[in-house]
Amino acid sequence: MKNLTVEDAAKAIGKTPQFVRVGLQQQRLPFGTAVKMPGGRWSYSISSELLKQYAGEEVERVDS
């Protein structure tokens, strides 16, 4: 299973990375999870397969 970044997901659905972060934190987006880590930082796991189903298209990683 390939995990994607928040930026990858945002590009795939035409939204901002902040939209994706908040959507995952509030469990409103069905393609990943957000976990609040000790110290208050958030960690994100985004499934390429679930994002592909949600976006209705092929999803590729953003080149860093």
Give domain status of residue 62, yes or no: no
Residue-level pLDDT at 30: 97
Global model pTM greater than 0.95:
no
- Structure tokens given for 40: 């208050």
Give domain status of residue 17, yes or no: yes
- For residue 26, give Cα distances in angstroms to 23, 47, 58, 60: 5, 17, 25, 24
Residue-level pLDDT at 58: 60
Range of the domain at 28: 3-55
- Structure tokens given for 33: 């999870």
Cβ-proximal residues to 54 (8 Å cutoff; 6+ apart), any chain: 13, 29, 30, 31
Number of domains, the chain: 1
**8 A C-beta contact, residue 13 and residue 55:** yes
Give domain status of residue 9, yes or no: yes
Mean pLDDT of successive 10-residue segments in the chain (64 residues)?
A: 87 97 98 97 96 80 58
Residue 29's closest CA among 48, 54, 4, 53? 54
Residue-level pLDDT at 61: 61
Give domain status of residue 47, yes or no: yes
Give domain status of residue 28, yes or no: yes
